[in-house]
Amino acid sequence: MHLKTSNRSLPLLLAKNYKINVGNFTKGFWEKTANIILRNRILILVLIALFTIFLGMQWKNMRFSNSTANLLPDDHPVNIEYQHFLQTFGEEGNAIVFGIRDSSLFTPSKLNRWNKFSKQLAAFPEIDYVLSLDNLKELKRDTTDQKFVLKPLISSEVRSQSQIDSLTDHLFNDLPFYDNLLFNKESGTIRTIANLDKEIVNTSVRKDFILQEVNDLVADFESDTGLDVHVSGMPYIRTMNSQSIIDEIGKFIGAALLVTSLIFFFFFRSFRATLISMCVVIIGVMWAFGILGLLQYEITVLTALIPPLIIVIGIPNCIFLINKYQQEVQKHGNQALSLQRVISKIGNATLMTNMTTASGFATFIITDSKLLTEFGIVASLNIIGIFILSLLIIPIVYSYLSLPKDRHLKHLNKKWIDAFVNKMEHLVRNKRIAVYIVSVSLVIASIIGMYQIKISGSPIEDMPKNAQFFKDIRFFEAEFDGIMPIEIVVDTKRPKGVMNATTLKKLDQLDEVITEIPELSQPLSVVNLVKYSKQAFYNGLPKYYQLPTKQETNFILSVAQKSEGNGNLLKSFVDSTGQTARMTTFIQDVKTDRMEEIIDKLSENLNKFFPPERYETYMTGSALLFLQGTKYLVKNLVLSLAFAIFLIAVFMAYLFRSFRMIVISLIPNLLPLLITAGIMGYIGVPIKPSTILVFSIAFGISVDDTIHFLAKYRQELIVNHWQIKKSVYAALRETGVSMFYTSIVLFFGFSVFIISDFGGTVALGSLVSATLLFAMMSNLILLPSLLLSLERNIASKEFLKEPQIDILPKDEDVK
């Protein structure tokens, strides 16, 4: 006897036979999991409480970053040069600067108070030394002993206005060595430079000292004099920026909880469901902080985003589980069966979507950047953690509560959501050509926009623009031509080679090149000291502030060698062997392409004046380090995104067992990324460490909708006997509501980052929100359109095979 089958039913029969042999594993696993959870409710809650307490005890190990974020790996050549510089000359960013631009400062009472302020600074043990008007010393020639001596500019309190007038006239006109260092003679701005002890620059001691002692001292001075003091310098900027990050963590968590709870309540109209969900994500936040402490990772501008991210990503888990529970209750009213099915039917789907989201974050681990690696590890661990919490807490808590009332189930039949889904279905049914035209047009426009994207290598661009410390950065840029240091190092390859007349002349030529670049400050090097020595040799006449001739050089240097304090002056510019010189300039906050032009010009002249065969030279400094770090990061994150796409493609191949389906499923998820990149180009949002994260995060989240849709579509094909159109529309109606719910929560959840004072965080929040909205529309319109247009080319028997992991079990979810 032969079994007769039609060609259409054969794939269905094959799929059913395959399921009999393979498909029961996942079903059995989740049924057992549901039984374990519901039979051990008290034990599980106790274990969660104990683990939460354990992680809470790790909070004491949390540390906020005290050093500048280094985006380069330790073995990168640029990083090696920077570390070599630090070993030779010490910490480059240890100066705090205080500036006043007010003519009333030049009165006896206020100038004496300013000098007292400098003395108070110098008295702190955290301060290495202070350079100010109070202790400013002039280089004088002692004709008797034929040596240079340093004499104080101000030996006692000033008592009259005429004394001040004489002092300022001498300072501004006779001491060019200090011009652009301690004063700007054109505007009359005066500043004091306090150098921190290098041992505390990258420790928490620096933070406490600046936030308490320094800020209190400035406040007292301003109160006594009525003058505004501008404060800056890399230690101060880093401290205030870090404090802003700390302040924002609480703001983000509060805003995320408020927004997501309001949206959740709007959807479910249940205080009970909202409260349960909030408890789940709050525990998730506690775990996030605990894991940071347990791993002893620093809280940076990136890891500070993880707690609110956990709230935003955790709420959709709660929506899926609670929505399923209420659907089951509405269907048959059996609480025990409803809870069992919540775990066994939705648990696997939620695990899959959380795994893809975690994969998007985990791809950061493959970068060589410590900053991103730590972010990827903690974020991916916490995403899995919030999934476990949701799966355990929600069914257990509901098992102790009464069944939901009818008013709590009304949201399951909301007509306005049905109208939205019907609109999407209408577009898919009747406007597919228009959908493709719009999609192709968006791709073309986005590619054009992508070519307009710039890379930003500015370390201060993302800082809060309204913060006083940022305004002070702009003040010092305007007054002293920059705040971010660029260091030029010249190794003469021979001891005492720096003081050679030829070397000094070459350094002076490089000095002139730097001076001609408007974005750079007047450089400071041994050349300035040698010029000052010649001026002092000729009784302080300003016209002799220049390099000595060959005949003068030997004599002046012999005088300098006998001078007291000469070693202290030289050590800032020349290493202990006299072989290596340092030239320091400061750059304004300029566009990356302009910064690269400046660096290229400096490199060209550096090689011109100091041929590589005779000298070893390099440029370094925190400004260059950040620029190179950003470029390196962009390169690595492009690879990271490619890896995320590959990883999720492999994952979907494992789920759906169809190469064609992988290609089709990636299209609606890559399109939103292209659109976002295009928008960034058109509106001028640059690629930088914060905005480059958008693509991996959004891709990892948006692909969840695709997985849900395709899983439902495959099951509808089976139950509808290979009727493709009917299956696509059924899948669209079934998954459209959940897509809408979760996308709205994610959209508004990520939008809370817009309240940040940090430009990068605002860009991250707004771009991820927009990308996820585009992804929802793409998965609701473009994906089903593609399935309908390509029909049998995609919906093959290969696709009908049950995967190794059953996402949506047939016996319950297929109608």
pLDDT tens for 696-735 read 778 877 787 787 787 777 777 777 776 778 888 888 887 7
* pLDDT tens per residue across span 639-656: 777 877 787 777 777 766
485 pLDDT above the threshold of 80:
yes
Maximum Cα–Cα distance across the chain: 128
Residue 190 — pLDDT band, cuts 50, 70, 90? Answer: very high
116 against 145, higher pLDDT: 116
Helix (H) or strand (E) holding 129: strand 127-131
- At 796 the pLDDT is 52
Cβ neighbours for 302, distance < 8 A, ≥ 6 positions apart: 371, 372, 374, 375, 689, 693
- At 152 the pLDDT is 83
* pLDDT tens per residue across span 353-377: 788 788 878 878 877 777 788 888 9
Which residue, chain included where needed, has tokens 């280089």?
Answer: 139
- At 219 the pLDDT is 93
Task: Enter the tokens of residue 245.
Answer: 């990050």
794 pLDDT above the threshold of 60:
no
- At 330 the pLDDT is 79
760 against 666, higher pLDDT: 666
- At 507 the pLDDT is 92
- At 792 the pLDDT is 58
Q: Which CATH superfamily is domain 9-66+241-451+627-813 in?
A: Multidrug efflux transporter AcrB transmembrane domain (1.20.1640.10)
| Mean per-residue pLDDT, 782-799 | 70
- At 514 the pLDDT is 92
178 pLDDT above the threshold of 80:
yes
- At 44 the pLDDT is 93
- Comparing C-alpha atoms, which of 554, 529, 559, 527 is closest to residue 141? 559
Please tell me the distance from the alpha carbon of residue 432 to that of residue 261, in angstroms, as a whole number.
37
* pLDDT tens per residue across span 581-593: 999 898 888 888 8
- At 656 the pLDDT is 65
| Mean per-residue pLDDT, 774-792 | 84
Q: Is 124 helix (H, G, I), strand (E, B) or coil?
A: coil
Q: Is 195 helix (H, G, I), strand (E, B) or coil?
A: strand
| Mean per-residue pLDDT, 672-694 | 84
* pLDDT tens per residue across span 75-104: 788 888 888 888 888 766 788 899 999 989
231 forms beta bridges with 98
Domain spans in the chain, listed from the N-terminal domain onward: 9-66+241-451+627-813
Which residue, chain included where needed, has tokens 């940090």?
Answer: 758
| Mean per-residue pLDDT, 515-537 | 87
**Helix crossing, 234-268 with 468-480: angle to 10°?**
140
> How high is the mean pLDDT of the chain?
81
Distances (CA, A) of 680 to 97, 232, 489: 36, 31, 38
- At 560 the pLDDT is 55
808 pLDDT above the threshold of 60:
no
The pTM of this model reads: 0.77
